[in-house]
Amino acid sequence: MLYKTIKYKVVSEIMEKKSRFICILNPITNTNEIEEILTNVRKQYPGAKHYCYTYRIRNDGNIIEKCSDDGEPNSTAGIPMLNALKRQEIVNILAVVVRYFGGTLLGTGGLVRAYSGAVIQSLALAEIITLEYSWQLRITMDYTYYGNFQNKCLPYFKQIVNTNFTDQVIIDAWIAADNLNRLLNLLNGITTRTATVEFLQQGFMN
C-alpha cells in the first residue's frame, strides 16, 4: 500500500499580467492543521486579493478533498489547483495560492491557467516521496542463526532501528507490509521456528 506526498514545504511564484500568484505547498497529515496554516499564510502575505486553497488527505484508505475559490469566479481557482494535485496523485498536502491583483482582469481561462500553473510549478520544485504501509518488528533469535539471518533477511527490511546483543540477538526493524509474510516464512526456515517476533507499531514510511 503506497502513497505519494511532499517531504518539505515549498513556496514559488508566477506572474500573470502583473498579478502575483504565490503558491505555498505544505505537507499535512490531518485536517486540524489546515486552519492554522491558512491563518499563518494570511499573516505572512497581508493585503492580498485572494487566498485560494485545496487539500487532499488520506484517511483510512479514503481520500478527503476540498477546495476554495475564496471569491474568485466559481471553479477558476480551487478546482484547477485540486486537479493539479490529482494528476500527480499527491496526497497529504495543502496547496494555498495567494493572489495580489495586478489591475488587469484575466478572464476565467486566464485564472484557471494561473492557479493551476502556480501549483504545477511548486510541485516541480518539491521533493516528492513515496510512503509505504509498514510494520516495525522486534525479532529475537539465538546467535547461531544471526549470520544466516543477515545474509537472507536484511534485504527485505526498510530500516534497521536497533540491534542489541545480549544473551540473544534482538533486532528492531521496519518492513513493508507486502513483504511481511515472505520474511516470516524465511525467518521460520532459518531459525527452525525458534525466533520470536513482536509487532511494535505500524504506519507509513518512505
Q: What is the pTM of this model?
A: 0.80
**Cα dihedral sign, 189-194-199-204:** negative
Nearest partner of 84 among 110, 106, 59, 115, judged by Cα: 115
Distance between terminal CA atoms of the chain? 12
Mean pLDDT of the chain: 94
pLDDT at position 119: 97
The answer to whether 195 touches 141, Cβ cutoff 8 Å, is: yes
H/E stretch holding 163: strand 157-165
CATH of domain 132-205: 3.30.70.240
> What percent of the chain has pLDDT above 90?
90
> What contacts 186, CB < 8 A, 6 or more positions away?
152, 153, 156
CA 163 from chain centre, in angstroms, equals: 29
Question: Does residue 170 carry a pLDDT above 90?
Answer: yes
In degrees, to the nearest 5, what angle opens at C-alpha 90 toward C-alphas 87 and 95? 95
Any idea which residue has 475559490 for its cell?
69
What are the extents of the domains in the chain? Answer: 2-126, 132-205
**Cα dihedral sign, 64-69-71-73:** negative
Rounded mean pLDDT of 53-59?
Answer: 94
Strand partners, 67: 54
Pairing of strands 19-27, 10-16: antiparallel
Fold exhibited by the domain 2-126? Ribosomal Protein S5; domain 2 (3.30.230)
